[in-house]
A = this chain, B = another copy of it.
Amino acid sequence: MGKILLRGRVCYMKTKTIKIKLPSWVEPFFKGAREFYTTLEDRMDFVIELSRKNIEHDSGGPFAAAVFNSKDGSLIAVGVNMVTSCGLSIAHAEIIALMQAQSVLKSFDLGAPGLPCCELVSSTAPCAMCLGAVPWSGVASLVCGARDEDARAVGFDEGSKRRDWVKELEIRDIAVTCDVLRSKAAAVLREYVGKGGIVYNGGLQTRK
């Protein structure tokens, strides 16, 4: 059995059940959502508000995402950045929203027959990890607010992405729309940093 020396103490390693619960303020926000978000701007506006609430409640970074039924704009699932609050580096808004949608629709493939046509709406263009997660999720489309460069401008690292990432998704039949309410989305990133929010980037600044 594995054991390691951790801060001077011998610790025995064990397997864990990982539990990922949205911050408590999300449930009432989710329940208060409208029945339909007809336009892409409506959907993005909802997601930007979610990202702003995540700052207000100090529950994570300034990023939010949601999965909508693209046909009628009904809301299926939401996610916010929870890296610091749940202690998992993978807990980006898009990953959380996709897990929530798959859990509620009971399918690891959101493109499976009989399911609504799923659209991922993200307040900022996805980082390299979340971008890689998009094709596996089965969503049919991706909608982005702020650009990579807006996130980088305030110090966030988007990871190593191909320049032609939009085209790479489109080759896989995933429609991409960028710059939806971009300046409003980017303003939330600046607001977060302006308030002194932590710009963590995984191991990048702590590792030698």
Asked if A201 CB lies within 8 Å of chain B CBs, one says yes
In-complex Cβ contact of A31 among B1, B106, B107, B138 (8 A): B1
Chain B residues with CB below 8 A from A89, complex form: 98, 102, 108-110, 133, 136-138
Mind listing 8 A-B residue pairs with CB under 8 Å? Answer: A1-B31, A1-B32, A1-B33, A15-B100, A19-B20, A87-B103, A88-B103, A129-B136
In the complex, are the beta carbons of B138 and A128 less than 8 A apart?
A: no
Chain B residues with CB below 8 A from A84, complex form: 108
Question: Complex Cα distance A35/B18, Å?
Answer: 24
Question: Complex Cα distance A159/B108, Å?
Answer: 17
In the complex, are the beta carbons of A203 and B21 less than 8 A apart?
A: no
Question: Complex Cα distance A133/B99, Å?
Answer: 16
In the complex, are the beta carbons of B165 and A162 less than 8 A apart?
A: no
In-complex Cβ contact of A13 among B15, B77, B133, B208 (8 A): B77
In the complex, are the beta carbons of B206 and A104 less than 8 A apart?
A: no
Question: Complex Cα distance A7/B173, Å?
Answer: 24
Q: Which residue on B lies nearest to A19, using beta carbons?
A: B19
Q: Which residues of A contact B (CB under 8 A)?
A: 1-7, 13-22, 26-27, 30-33, 35, 69, 74-78, 83-84, 86-91, 95, 98-100, 102-116, 127-133, 135-140, 157, 159-160, 162, 165, 168, 172-173, 200-204, 206-208
User: Smallest Cβ distance from A75 to chain B, in angstroms?
Assistant: 4
**Copies in the assembly, this chain:** 2
Question: Complex Cα distance A137/B7, Å?
Answer: 20
Q: Which residue on B lies nearest to A139, using beta carbons?
A: B203
Given contacts A88-B99, A165-B160, contact A138 B202 (CB under 8 A): yes
User: Smallest Cβ distance from A26 to chain B, in angstroms?
Assistant: 6
Question: Complex Cα distance A153/B200, Å?
Answer: 38
Question: Complex Cα distance A200/B32, Å?
Answer: 36
Q: Which residue on B lies nearest to A17, using beta carbons?
A: B21
Q: Which residue on B lies nearest to A168, using beta carbons?
A: B160
